[in-house]
């Protein structure tokens, strides 16, 4: 059996998970692909640090260069995270013609265009299945399984931390801050949690999926991002009463006839009847609509040692087979289809909206609000003023018909300045999946 030798850079949770998975299922993997995989070196930051995975001392080094520049090593596995040293490592390996497997979504989001160009220039490949949605094989599905489809829409629950928080808020009626604190205690949320709860982690993944689906590189600044800090137990409750569930949704949608694509991450009201509404706790799901295949759903664990290791092993199998068979690139990662695409500005995004206002409970309030919306040509489908709220102000819920984001934002800014409005309006978009 032909043997391929690997070098792993990073001995933390994911690196250890890959090492343990190869130890457990390496023989199975080799039997299935007909190629043996052997780990030659593992680079770690601190040789003295205690680790959950038991790496043999003879494999360890504190210098990543001893892995990348080792002539014996044929495939590099980058699992250290970050966007500085990791970029240097990957570029060095690609310049040597060595294929690289990475799980680094932040790096690909920030420097993917440069890295894939380097892989092409030096006749090798960059594998990145583990960068999006952990153990869900969504990259290979879009790149190879749906190679004959135009992707009309893609919706993803791609951040387990936010999904866990929103699920607990719905099931328990709990406040955001209390659930976040519990999530941090249980290890589901980082400290600080900003990357997750402000939507940036989901934006990295959504941008990668958008680039892959539409064949042009989506830069991080082009992705409109909103997090979940402003979602309250009250919003969760009202959404349920109206027949919706709130999820943080990564969205990639073709818009119009001019090769424009909406690429965004924001909290969304999802109809309870839609399958994504039932994706709970730390699980991820990606709903894809292709022009040939129709609708397809991919569901599973989006993070964690074993889920991520599973995707890394999948990439290692591909890399080993490609190397053995001298196949440089089977399906190019990003190819423009019939035109040069562009990202639709957020102001032009059309949606329906849930709006919660805190208003003074007195006659004439609704007339003032309605006049501002009417002047902006924005229509309301329903108005709910729940009973049982006492005090100076009460909640007022508006469900707004399809309108451009820019128009709604401007109208809400005017409404917020009315003397009868006692807090900043809360706006959450509504997705119908039509």
- What residues are annotated to the active site? 205
SS3 string, the chain, reads: CEEEEEEEECCCHHHHHHHHHHHHHHHHHHHHHCEEEEEEEEECCCCCCCCCCCCCHHHEECCCHHHHCCCCCCEEEECCCCCCHHHHHHHHHHHCCCCEEECCHHHHHHHHHHHHHHHHHCCCCEECHHHCCCCCCHHHHHHHHCCCCCEEEEEEECCHHHHHHHHHHHHHCCCHHHHHHHHHHHCCCCCCCHHHHCCHHHHHHHHHHHHHHHCCCCCHHHCEECCCCCCCHHHHHHHHHCCEEEEEEEEEEEECCCCEEEEEEEEEEEECCCHHHHCCCCEEEEEEEECCCEEEEEEEECCCHHHHHHHHHHHHHHHHHHHHCCCCCCCCCCCCCCCCCEECCHHHCEEEEEEEEEEECCCCHHHHHHHHHHHCCCCEEEEECCCCCCCCEEEEEEEEEEEEHHHHHHHHHHHHCCCCECCCCEEEEECCCC
């Amino acid at each position: 059996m032909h043997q391929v030798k690997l070098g792993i850079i990073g001995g933390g949770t994911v690196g250890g998970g890959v090492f343990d998975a190869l130890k457990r299922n390496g023989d199975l993997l080799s039997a299935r692909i007909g190629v043996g995989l052997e780990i030659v070196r593992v680079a770690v930051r601190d040789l003295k640090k205690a680790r959950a995975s038991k790496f043999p001392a003879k494999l360890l080094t504190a210098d990543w260069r001893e892995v990348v520049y080792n002539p014996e090593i044929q495939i590099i596995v980058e699992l250290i995270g970050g966007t500085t040293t990791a970029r240097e490592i990957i570029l060095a390996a690609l310049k040597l013609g060595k294929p690289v497997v990475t799980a680094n979504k932040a790096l690909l989001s920030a420097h993917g265009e440069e890295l894939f160009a380097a892989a092409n220039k030096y006749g090798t490949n960059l594998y990145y299945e583990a960068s999006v949605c952990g153990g869900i094989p969504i990259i290979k599905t879009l790149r190879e399984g749906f190679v004959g489809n135009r992707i009309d829409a893609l919706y993803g629950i791609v951040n387990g931390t936010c999904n866990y928080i929103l699920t607990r808020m719905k099931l328990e009626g709990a406040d955001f801050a209390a659930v976040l604190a519990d999530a941090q205690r249980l290890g589901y949320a980082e400290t600080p949690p900003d990357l997750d709860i402000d939507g940036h982690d989901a934006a990295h993944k959504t941008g990668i999926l958008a680039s892959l689906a539409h064949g042009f590189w989506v830069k991080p600044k082009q992705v409109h991002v909103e997090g979940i800090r402003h979602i309250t137990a009250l919003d969760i409750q009202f959404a349920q009463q109206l027949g919706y569930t709130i999820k943080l949704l990564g969205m990639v949608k073709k818009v119009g006839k001019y090769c424009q694509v909406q690429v965004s991450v924001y909290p969304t009201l999802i109809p309870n009847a839609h399958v994504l509404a039932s994706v709970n706790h730390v699980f991820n799901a990606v709903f894809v609509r292709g022009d040939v295949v129709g609708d397809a759903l991919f569901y599973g664990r989006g993070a964690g040692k074993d889920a991520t290791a599973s995707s890394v092993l999948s990439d290692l199998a591909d890399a080993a087979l490609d190397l053995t068979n001298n196949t440089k690139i089977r399906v190019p990662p990003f190819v423009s289809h019939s035109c040069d695409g562009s990202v639709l500005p957020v102001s032009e995004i059309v949606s329906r909206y849930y709006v919660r206002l805190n208003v003074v409970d007195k006659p004439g309030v609704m007339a003032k609000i309605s006049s501002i919306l009417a002047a902006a040509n924005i229509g309301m489908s329903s108005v709910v003023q729940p009973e049982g709220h006492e005090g100076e102000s009460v909640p007022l819920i508006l469900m707004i018909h399809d309108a451009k984001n820019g128009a709604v934002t401007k109208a809400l800014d005017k409404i917020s300045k009315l003397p009868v409005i006692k807090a900043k309006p809360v706006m959450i978009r509504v997705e119908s999946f039509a």
